[in-house]
Chains A and B, each alone.
Chain A
Amino acid sequence: GAGVSQSPRYKVAKRGQDVALRCDPISGHVSLFWYQQALGQGPEFLTYFQNEAQLDKSGLPSDRFFAERPEGSVSTLKIQRTQQEDSAVYLCASSLAVGWGIDQPQHFGDGTRLSIL
């Protein structure tokens, strides 16, 4: 398809398990972002890639969160030793933007809803 694709759409895991969330950006989009959206809240920035380079990971809440984009296309967000407070919708967005402060809009996927039991 032409949009940002995220999988799985829903993920249920037990506390302590590791999870991996996948994002397929729009073809040719250089920039890729991950956001975390808690229930009833606005999305919060987690991390940003420009091609394969992770230029900003200041929003990752702990060292249990890890993201990669090894070939500059598909990205994976991994959460180790999950905790209940990790329950949220994880949104991926991509854009044509290169560098800082460029006006290209971000295109969002439908998100992965993660529930930690």
Chain B
Amino acid sequence: AQSVTQLDSQVPVFEEAPVELRCNYSSSVSVYLFWYVQYPNQGLQLLLKYLSGSTLVKGINGFEAEFNKSQTSFHLRKPSVHISDTAEYFCAVSGGETSGSRLTFGEGTQLTVNP
């Protein structure tokens, strides 16, 4: 079975500071990895995805993530955050022989950007 662990439930930062949201996964087979963002009372919006190839993935809104197979991690980073980045962020995994294309999510990290 696959699982995703988001190591921080809440991350407060000041505007224009860098941020890293941590994600670890477990799976016995190759998987696809995703980061989604959820604003209040809205659905999830895809930030970026790792399928194969380069381990550094760039997404929308200036976010990027690095896939580390040996550490089974997929941490999300942004060099300078804005107030508008305040939201819940979810790491997710799909793929594998049993789960197919369904997504398995972590419990989320609430990013709060303060002025």
Interface residues of A (CB under 8 A from B): 4, 31, 33, 35, 40-45, 48, 55-56, 59, 91, 93, 95, 97, 99-111, 113
Other 12 A-B pairs with CB < 8 A, given A56-B100, A93-B44: A41-B108, A42-B92, A42-B105, A45-B102, A59-B102, A99-B100, A99-B101, A101-B32, A101-B101, A108-B45, A110-B41, A110-B42
**How far is A31 from B101 in the complex, measured between Cα atoms in Å?**
9
Interface residues of B (CB under 8 A from A): 4, 32, 34, 36, 41-46, 49, 51, 90, 92, 94-96, 100-108
Chain A residues lying within 8 Å of B100, measured Cβ to Cβ, are 48, 55-56, 99-101
Within 8 Å by CB of A45, from B41, B90, B104, lies: B104
- The answer to whether A105 and B34 touch across the interface, beta carbons within 8 angstroms, is yes
**Closest Cβ–Cβ distance, residue A72 to chain B (whole Å):** 17
**How far is A113 from B102 in the complex, measured between Cα atoms in Å?**
21
- The answer to whether B96 and A45 touch across the interface, beta carbons within 8 angstroms, is no
Contact flag A111-B46 (CB < 8 Å), given A42-B108, A48-B102: no
**Closest Cβ–Cβ distance, residue B76 to chain A (whole Å):** 15
Contact flag A42-B90 (CB < 8 Å), given A31-B101, A48-B102, A105-B34: yes
Chain A residues lying within 8 Å of B45, measured Cβ to Cβ, are 108
Chain B residues lying within 8 Å of A31, measured Cβ to Cβ, are 101
**How far is A67 from B49 in the complex, measured between Cα atoms in Å?**
28
**How far is A33 from B101 in the complex, measured between Cα atoms in Å?**
10
- The answer to whether B106 and A103 touch across the interface, beta carbons within 8 angstroms, is no
Which B residue sits closest to A101, measured CB to CB? B95
Within 8 Å by CB of A103, from B49, B102, B105, lies: B49
Which A residue sits closest to B102, measured CB to CB? A45
- The answer to whether B107 and A45 touch across the interface, beta carbons within 8 angstroms, is no
Which among A31, A97, A110 has the greatest number of chain B C-beta atoms within 10 A?
A: A110
- The answer to whether B103 and A45 touch across the interface, beta carbons within 8 angstroms, is yes
**How far is A80 from B96 in the complex, measured between Cα atoms in Å?**
32
